[in-house]
């Protein structure tokens, strides 16, 4: 029940005004490096140390192994990934949007991939789900100018699946639906009605990270 209430808090976070999501300035470049052929913009899960998180690291490694000689950069969404979802998730959405904008302006030929794990999947939901009421969610999707730079979306343990009116991300995004894979492990407590916390951390071992990388490689 506690975990269900936590999940409900994430839904409340996504209901915040769009202005809060868009108030953060565009993300600056991580380093002055040549533009990669592909960049993965990934939001880690709740409580993970700053970086891509273990699922994000595995996903980027798997994708690199599937795209031949093309270069794959990675950007870790800069956000708290904390338990105060009311501030954490919108901050992540703002930073992810800023990074997409920066890449579109400075590396227009780079194919972008959006990804997230757990709360990080919720961050990606905020900028990809259609702009219409969805339970307590108020998405603020990327504008067309930026969305055109996103080749694929991959999320894991997505809490949007287990909220009223929710479901798999591809079904809730007219813009990104065909470009999106939404992985949910059997009995994952955060994306199903199941009760397995272990399933929520199984995406590398159960093959779903590799499956998602295959999907994305086919679209970049």
Query: Which residues carry out catalysis?
Result: 118, 188, 200
- Residues near 216 by beta carbon (within 8 Å), at least 6 away in sequence: 63, 113, 151, 152, 154, 181
Q: Which of 66, 84, 75 is nearest to 113 (CA)?
A: 75
Tell how far CA 173 is from the center of its chain.
13
Neighbours of 124 (CB within 10 A): 29
The per-residue b/e assignment along 203-213, b for 16 or more CB within 10 angstroms, e otherwise, is bbeeebbbebb
Distance CA 218, CA 66 (A): 9
Q: Which of 7, 192, 17, 137 is nearest to 85 (CA)?
A: 7
The per-residue b/e assignment along 164-196, b for 16 or more CB within 10 angstroms, e otherwise, is eebebbbebbebbbebbbbbbbebbbbbbebee
Distance CA 96, CA 34 (A): 20
Distance CA 38, CA 85 (A): 30
Q: Which of 110, 54, 123 is nearest to 82 (CA)?
A: 123
């Amino acid at each position: 029940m506690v975990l269900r209430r936590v999940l409900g808090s994430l839904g409340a976070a996504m209901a915040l005004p769009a202005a809060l999501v868009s108030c953060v300035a565009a993300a600056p470049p991580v380093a002055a490096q040549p533009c990669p052929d592909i960049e993965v913009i990934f939001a880690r899960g709740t409580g993970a140390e700053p970086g891509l998180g273990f699922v994000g690291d595995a996903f980027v490694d798997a994708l690199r192994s599937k795209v031949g000689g093309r270069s794959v950069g990675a950007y870790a969404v800069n956000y708290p990934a904390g338990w105060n979802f009311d501030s954490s998730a919108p901050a992540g959405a703002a930073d992810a949007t800023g990074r997409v904008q920066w890449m579109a302006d400075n590396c227009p030929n780079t194919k972008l991939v959006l990804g997230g794990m757990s709360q990080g999947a919720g961050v990606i939901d905020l900028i990809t789900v259609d702009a219409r009421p969805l339970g307590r969610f108020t998405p603020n999707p990327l504008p067309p100018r930026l969305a055109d730079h996103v080749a694929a979306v991959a999320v894991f343990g997505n809490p949007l699946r287990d909220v009223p009116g929710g479901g798999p991300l591809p079904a809730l995004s007219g813009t990104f639906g065909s470009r999106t894979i939404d992985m949910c492990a059997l009995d994952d407590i955060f994306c199903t009605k199941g009760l397995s916390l272990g399933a929520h951390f199984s995406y590398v071992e159960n093959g779903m990270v590799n499956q998602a990388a295959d999907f994305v490689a086919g679209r970049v």
